[in-house]
Structure 1
Amino acid sequence: MKTISSLVENYIKSKPFLLSSISQGIINLTSLARVMMPDLERELGKDIKQGAVVMSLKRLSEELDFRINHKITRVLKNIGEITVRSSLVDYAFSVSETLLENQAKLIAEINKNHDLFYTSSRGVNESNIIVSSSVSEIVDELFKDEKKTHRVDNLSSITVKLPQVNVSTPGVFYYIFQRLAWEGVIIHEVISTTNEFTVIVHDNQIDIAFKVIKDLKNIEE
């Protein structure tokens, strides 16, 4: 059975940025209710009182304030070490029978210098390799017979250590990437492990991206 409360919740959940703004108390609920009412009335098939929509929004905002802000804030306040690396190159290759063998050769070369940056991820059809630009010539040579789908230079990375509770707290990554999106940061790649994630951005956006992530540790509950 459709109710005003369920319709309001579904409406808000379909608009992620609106969802977060309500949880932070930065939207006038009366004005929002006025905007929502035509859609809600069409969905419910009858007229709706604006006051009923406002009350549903208030109840939802209180629930979101606890569910989103408090739980996520506890995780973000315990963000660990933040590491920034620059002068990176991102390669993408089509998956082949020889790709892993060539990656093993590359890792052997990189292990000779522990100051170098290396990370990779593999999908169904392609694999990405991100390395320090100083070894780009080695990559070009080792993978010369592979099918390269793209190469992007002038990249930087931000690696963030998260507390272990991040795996049982919904919305942590959404909240972080939302803040980056609000500041116009274009994320080139994302690589993650259980308690650590790395975002790759262009060099000209590394300063603002670092500030956004660093400031997450100071958000108020």
Structure 2
Amino acid sequence: MGNRRRIRRRLHGIGLVDPILPSIAQGLDASASQVSLLYESALGLGMACGPLPGALLGDASWRYPFFGTAFLMAVGFLCITAFLKEHPKPARKTSLLDPLKVLGHGGLASAAVSSFFYNCTFFTVPAFTPFVLNMTPYKSGAVFFAWGVLLAVFSVLVAPRLQRRTRRGRGRRTARGADIRAARARGRGRRLCQLTHTYRWLVSLLTSVRPTRGTDP
């Protein structure tokens, strides 16, 4: 019973991360990169702030983190109701079987399988690693706090800069490749002109020599 309570405490902070954030972000007037930035930054803040109150509540009782999660979900529901804009109803209603039908696509099916194993690893390793290392809820909460802070910092500050540099590097490489192809094309054109001039010179030489050979006795 004690081991189960310790494992539950490890999972309390993870449960405070809001899983419906992508759906909320897609409802905003934002591009794909902005949606990804919002999701990663919110995920980092959740991973940073969630384990600390989760450890405090879990140390008092294993029931308290569930009440804390329910309270945060209620706050999130009220924020969605108050701030999320209304969208027109779609022309075709989406059924519950549509997500399963989409899995018939090979690319989406492989992405779903890889995402399944990734999420299993993502939630299993943080849950059982502190248990194996005999870490207290406060120590594991501090580890996840540092992890979340680094995730938020790199998602908001470092990742956009690296993305801009990568785009610039790709543009430079594309320009260099275009210059190289143009230079090769010019070189081939010059060689073609040289071959054309040589062919014309040979043709004129043969036509001039043929009558001379025909007049010999």
TM-score range, shorter chain: under 0.3
More helix per residue: 2
TM-score by length of 1: 0.21
More strand per residue: 1
TM-score by length of 2: 0.21
Structure ranking higher on relative contact order (CA contacts 8 Å, 6+ apart): 2
